[in-house]
Structure 1
């Protein structure tokens, strides 16, 4: 650190007088800084967290959902998803493996929704079943596809043994 030399210096015949070191009191500056910080903290609006709306059924479900309008999406490994329409034992649309691109899962959802609308005249319901080998990002991508394709009714469920067997048959588990 530099030091202020306060001893008189002789330069030729002249002697310089001693000057006192300059001290600056920063107390007022610190007070002002804390006041400004407090002011901006209190007046700044914080961002509100964005969350997906979640609707839960109330009581017992008295109106069972037909298998002809239920699409099941099973999330597998290596960014693969398997989908089918109906039950795993006797699917109306055979199980197929796809990826998470626009021409993959999104296209499958749109085509299946069109098929369900034509055959039943009702809206499609999607059941999402993540497997143990899937990653969380794939679940988020699938939920994003539900929003993009405007699927109104969907649920996340535990994967069944029949679905795991189908994933294994299609090398996606």
Structure 2
């Protein structure tokens, strides 16, 4: 009987329970996604960024050994003055293609002039993509509304190449004083 008590003791010996361990990886997955997004953003921000510089085409005319700029007959200069006055000329002021004109805003004024000049320039060059180059020069006497109106005219007439400049040559100052 003593043996049986020993066997009984061995059979009733408490065994360690094997527990099923479950690990919750939800937090680790969240952190992993945050780290992936962080590294993707930092890699994208570390790439060098550049902006294309759109310079006017010279039109193949090279007169000084290097490219001297656009052909003067493509350039239309618009001078904005007070009292909604617009003075425009094509080419260089010293050698204009036309006499300087005083125009008004609207359909029969500057818009008509820009449309006819742009059409004439594109027909001369034979290239639809290369039209007029407009230089807009607001004077100190012009107001902001005039500048906005002339920029609207650029969009309406579909002239792609234009620039706003605040530099006046002495000849342009004389032209504004005369008109």
Aligned-residue offset at 1:167: 1.5
Q: Which runs of 5+ in 2 are unaligned?
A: 1-50, 59-65
Residue range with higher mean Cα deviation, 127-136 or 112-121: 112-121
1:131 matched residue in structure 2: 139
| Mapped contact 1:72–1:126 kept (Cα < 8 A) | yes
Correspondence for 1:86: 91
Relative contact order, CA 8 A, sep 6+: which one is greater?
A: 1
Q: What CA distance in whole angstroms lies between the structure 2 residues aligned with 1:119 and 1:150?
A: 18
Tell whether the 8 Å contact from 2:86 to 2:104 is kept in structure 1 after alignment: yes
Q: Which has the larger share of strand?
A: 1
Residue 152 of structure 1 is matched in structure 2 by: 160
Runs of 4+ in 1 over 6 A off after TM superposition: none
What do residues 13-39 of structure 1 show as CA deviations (whole Å, max 9, x unaligned)? xxxxxxxxxxxxxxxxxxxxxxxxxxx
Normalised by the size of structure 1, how large is the TM-score? 0.61
SS at match of 2:79: strand
TM-score (norm 2): 0.59
What is the deviation of 1:57?
4.2
Contact 2:75–2:135 (Cα < 8 Å) also in 1? yes
Aligned counterparts of 1:67 and 1:91: Cα–Cα separation in 2: 9
Q: How many residues align?
A: 115
Residue 81 of structure 1, CA deviation: 0.4
Of the candidates 94, 100, 104, which is equivalent to residue 95 of structure 1?
100
Unaligned regions of 5+ residues in structure 1, if any?
A: 1-53
DSSP 3-state at the match of 1:113:
helix
Hey, what does 1:67 align to over in structure 2?
72
- Report deviation, 1:134: 0.8
Structure (1 or 2) with the larger CA radius of gyration: 2
Identify the structure with the greater helix proportion: 2
- CA distance in structure 2 between the aligned counterparts of 1:120 and 1:90, rounded to whole angstroms: 20
What's 1:114 paired with? 119
Distance of 2:116 and 2:161 partners within structure 1: 16
